[in-house]
Amino acid sequence: MKRVAFVVLFVSTLFLASVVQSVAAQADHSPKGNGLIRMKHSATVGINVTFAVYIDGAKAGVFSRGHVFERALSAGRHTVRVVRTGRSDSWTGTMDVRAGETKSFVVKVSPDQVYLDPVGRID
């Protein structure tokens, strides 16, 4: 009986340690004083479609289906441009970012336009 109790206590301790580590890792995404921008593909966008993201005129990265684009942004106003690679259609907009704020979007396309649909959270 004591051995079973010890095993249960040991497994519970390991589980709690992993949960604490996971929560701490998520908090590190947005350094103090910064906000966060996150984007992912719409389920209706083709598998081989990739998007390039430019923030304040500089290329911030490229992402494709199954990946989440994520970048920390300093608090303030930023110009964001999302371009469907290999095509001329894009979305450009201005975002006001506050410290600690996360802005999440699903990137969608129509035949000749890219647009961002704001969502509450991206997992």
Residue 94 has pLDDT above 90, yes or no: yes
Structure tokens, 47: 């598998």
Give residue-wise pLDDT tens across range 19-55.
333 333 333 345 567 999 999 999 888 888 999 999 9
Which token pair is 106?
A: 């699903």
At 7, which amino acid appears?
V
Please give the Cα distance from 57 to 68 (Å, whole number).
21
Are the beta carbons of 44 and 110 closer than 8 angstroms? no
Is 25 or 62 the better-scoring residue by pLDDT? 62
- Estimate to the nearest angstrom the gap between the alpha carbon of 31 and the chain centroid: 14
* pLDDT (0 to 100) of residue 32: 67
What are the residues whose beta carbons fall under 8 Å from the beta carbon of 30, sequence distance 6 or more? Answer: 36, 72, 100, 102
Q: With contact defined as beta carbons under 8 Å apart, do 39 and 115 qualify?
A: no
Q: Tokens 């000749």 map to which residue?
A: 112
**25/66 Cα distance (integer angstroms):** 21
Contact 75, 34 (CB under 8 A): yes
Answer whether residue 116 shows pLDDT above 50: yes
